[in-house]
Chain A
Amino acid sequence: MIATKTDVKTFRGEVTTWLEENYPASLRQPISSYKDFFWGGRNQEDVTDDLKLWFNRCYEKGWVVPHWEKKYGGGGLTLKENTIIAEEMSKIGARAPLQSFGVSMLGPALLKFGSEEQKMKYLNEITSGKIRWVQGYSEPGAGSDLAGLQTKAEDKGDHYLVNGQKIWTSFGDKGDWIFALVRTHPDRPKHHGISFLLIDMATEGVSTRPIKLISGVSVFTETFFDNVKVPKENLVGTEGEGWTIAKYLLTHERQMIGGIGDAHKPTPLTQIAGEKVGLTNGILSDTLLRSKIMNFEMNEALLEMTIERAIDEAKAGNDAGALSSLFKYVATEQNKTRYELKMEMEGFDGLEWESEASKNGALPREFLRTKANTIEGGTSEVMLNIISKRILGLPSR
């Protein structure tokens, strides 16, 4: 436990030394895609030895999720210590040992709503990298109106019988288990008939189909449930009250999509603009682009300060909870702008879709991917609805 400034310094020193000795040299490269991370799970493909080595070293140290309790495979450290580890990893550009929806999404939900048995089993499977989790929320008919979901789970005594379809399952074809929202009580008002269910995707009747996106890649699937038997003990929390868990979890998802707390800060556009566009008398040659870049970078700086302020407000006991919608809205709109500007800067080079020089069109594909940022996890319009109703108190119709 660290309590004093000296303790912080000592702990930070230990972290730096450990990272220096244990972070593999081959991973000190910029990250170009999701494949540059270790995701764990039953079907691991394309995982380099060093990614595995890095994960194993962190797991032994309890640093996959440093602030979870030791009995769950964490390190039993405080949030403060967790932050120091994250900061020091960020300084050397170290990637997370495990990229996992289990850590970022299901974990927090289980810690708050799960039974002790569930925590012991599932959290340990997450931290050990054994099980890769995916999320089953959206349905073809339930996007922004998520609570209108129709996938049903019928009570059959010792199990639920699940039938229906999910969509936009990130890495659905690579996942082992899915945490899903299902309708257990079709007779109740829509927000009170939903339950939160954990489903093994190896169960008979579960199948997935990839969705090809405008960027040409398929990171999402449709996920089908055809008479899938799910044991009763896989229910998290109270039957019919899954919406509470869903909402709690969505705030974590929104932070993730907004990149809040990301260790990897993107390179400021002001640093690359000169090289891409050229300078005339020390001024960017394209002066209209210059003003767009400066507006963008101004808002980037202010967003970072607002995150800092929200943390300080929370520490001081002031309520900053309402700000999560703001962060999701601002950060994702900013990210879209970032990629529009990158495309403008790259000119013709940014149009190459299949070439070695462009790493198979990495930029235009990433650019297209950012268009989903303001849709997934609650659209910008939904965020503005939340702000106008919950924060500003504007009337409903």
Chain B
Amino acid sequence: MALIINEEQQMLKSSVKEFLKERSPIAQLRHLRDTKDSTGYDKALWTEMANMGWVALNIPVAYGGLDFGYTGLGQVLEETGRTLTASPLVSTVLLSATAINLGGNLLQKEAVLPYIAAGDLIVAFALEEGRHHHPTNISTTATGKKGGYSLNGKKVAVMDGHVADKLIVAANTDDGVELFLVDTNTEGITTERVISMDSRNYANIQFDNVFVSENATLAEYESGAALLERTLDIGRIGLAAEMLGGIQETFDRTVAYLKEREQFGVKIGSFQALQHRAAHLFCEIELCKSIVIKALKAIDDNSDDLPRLASLAKAKLGQTYQLVSNEGIQVFGGIGMTDEEEIGFFIKRARVVQRMLGDSNYHLDKLARMKGI
């Protein structure tokens, strides 16, 4: 398992980069924000991405996908991280398609995956309930009812929940946690859109006696809890790939500014105090690249080491995105504090994505528990 991408993956990465640079620069996110767009993403862009197959890379050919693997999807995520492209890629493709592909039965896969692959269906992943990521402590209940279950509880921070056609809901049954595939227009579901600091969209979703049939569970994996954990680990690695893109873009912009900005009659990049900070960031980013490629390849190899690699990836990338976005603002100085300068968009995304699917503290703690301390 060489820690480099192959030629096909490199070609994919290059074409995504070119496309997003043209079609989805930061100005696009600013536009969605300033026009208070009701969906929070560019539907036409999403359709174009689907037409090129980029939202179907992890979906099997039998269900309309390309079966190109997660290392490939990781390259797309990385590039969307560079441009901060607002799209349902994480919620629908990275998390939901993964869960359905791993745990769904034939009918569920046929009913959902081809439509995700075509860009026609948005599926959100409803997991979180409190202030902090705590996937082993779920309060939402699924109580057995004639022919199905009744869902009750409240979910928060559901990415793209306000525009989703379907939800995957983690809820507790008498036999432990299960994932349920639910239509958002089912009676008893109340969705409240929340605009977050990164100008992306999340939802708080209330479930009051929401009836779902017994065929709604994703029951083909060894257990609901195991399916949730595997899906989350894949999601964490995918998010880390997105973060790697954001980190590199922030760093590239910062280094470019060091070479351009003049004070005291010289380029500020000639000051050793700033050079050493930039060089340190460079080292941290090289470490980040290694864990991201290692973890992406481990998904494609169906590795048993995935929990460790996922936590390493999410912990390190979270810390580094935080560091590089802070240093970026500091180097840009006063201008970095203005809304007009784009560097500020990265610190906002850094903080949001840090919280999603467990922050660095959560994952270092998880790693420590794996080691028995």
Contact = CB atoms under 8 A, between A and B. Distances in A.
A394 B373 contact: no
Given A282-B372, A294-B364, A297-B367, A384 B2 contact: no
A397 B270 contact: yes
A273 B294 CA distance: 27
A2 B315 CA distance: 41
A270 to B, nearest CB: 4
B292 to A, nearest CB: 10
Interface in A354-397: 381, 383-385, 387-389, 391-397
A395 B361 CA distance: 37
B286 A384 contact: no
Interface residues of A, number: 47
B135 to A, nearest CB: 19
Interface string B160-188: 00000000000000000000000000000
A298 B373 contact: no
Nearest to B373: A284
A115 interface: no
Interface in A274-318: 274, 279, 282-284, 290-291, 293-295, 297-299, 301-303, 305-306, 308-309, 312-313, 315-316, 318
A392 B373 contact: no
A77 interface: no
A306 B255 contact: no
Q: Looking at chain B's contact residues, is the secondary structure mostly helix, strand, loop, or mixed?
A: helix
Interface stretch (A12-20, A33-41, A322-330): A322-330
Given A298-B312, A298-B364, A385-B275, A395 B270 contact: yes
Given A298-B312, A312-B4, A330-B287, A384 B280 contact: yes
Given A284-B368, A388-B275, A309 B4 contact: yes
Contacts of A309: 3-4, 289-290, 293-294
Nearest to B5: A316
Contacts of B315: 298
A393 B255 CA distance: 9
A393 B2 contact: no
Contacts of B279: 383-385, 387-388, 391-392
Q: Looking at chain A's contact residues, is the secondary structure mostly helix, strand, loop, or mixed?
A: helix
Interface string A238-256: 0000000000000000000
A393 B276 CA distance: 13
Contact of A313 (B4, B275, B294, B312): B4
Contact of B287 (A268, A303, A313): A303
Interface in B303-325: 312, 315-316
B294 to A, nearest CB: 5
B275 A306 contact: no
Contacts of B288: 302
Contact of A293 (B275, B282, B373): B373
B16 to A, nearest CB: 20
A381 B273 CA distance: 10
Interface string B267-282: 1011010111011101
Contacts of B269: 394-395
Contacts of A279: 373
Contacts of A393: 259
A270 B287 contact: no
B44 interface: no
B373 A270 contact: yes
A384 B373 contact: no
Interface residues of B, number: 39
Nearest to B258: A394
B290 A308 contact: yes
A308 B287 CA distance: 11
A392 B279 CA distance: 8
B3 A298 contact: no
Nearest to A393: B259
A156 B146 CA distance: 105
Given A305-B294, A391-B282, A397-B270, A295 B364 contact: yes
B282 A302 contact: no
A282 B371 CA distance: 10
B283 interface: yes
Contacts of B294: 305, 308-309
Contacts of A391: 279, 282
A391 B275 CA distance: 11
Contacts of B367: 294, 297-298
Contacts of B274: 394
A298 B288 CA distance: 11
B227 interface: no
A244 to B, nearest CB: 24
A122 B301 CA distance: 48
B323 to A, nearest CB: 13
B368 A394 contact: no
A381 B283 contact: no
A223 to B, nearest CB: 32
B75 to A, nearest CB: 16
A312 B2 contact: yes
Contacts of A294: 364-365, 367-368
A298 B274 CA distance: 26
A301 B365 CA distance: 16
A14 B94 CA distance: 47
Contact of A274 (B282, B283, B291, B373): B373
A132 B183 CA distance: 77
Contacts of B282: 326, 387, 391-392
B342 to A, nearest CB: 21
Contacts of A299: 287, 316
B272 A385 contact: yes
Most B Cβ at <10 Å: residue of A326, A329, A388? A388
Contact of A316 (B4, B278, B365, B371): B4
A274 B278 contact: no
B286 A326 contact: yes
B368 A270 contact: yes
30 contacts: A268-B371, A270-B372, A279-B373, A284-B368, A290-B368, A293-B373, A294-B364, A294-B368, A297-B367, A297-B371, A298-B316, A298-B364, A301-B291, A301-B312, A305-B3, A305-B294, A308-B294, A309-B293, A313-B3, A315-B2, A316-B4, A326-B286, A330-B283, A387-B279, A387-B282, A391-B279, A392-B282, A394-B259, A394-B278, A395-B267
Give the 5 A-B CB pairs with smallest separation, nearest first.
Answer: A388-B275, A387-B279, A270-B371, A309-B3, A305-B290
Given A282-B369, A298-B316, A302-B316, 19 more contacts: A274-B372, A290-B373, A293-B373, A294-B368, A297-B371, A298-B364, A302-B290, A302-B312, A308-B290, A313-B4, A315-B2, A329-B283, A330-B283, A387-B282, A389-B275, A391-B282, A394-B258, A394-B275, A395-B270
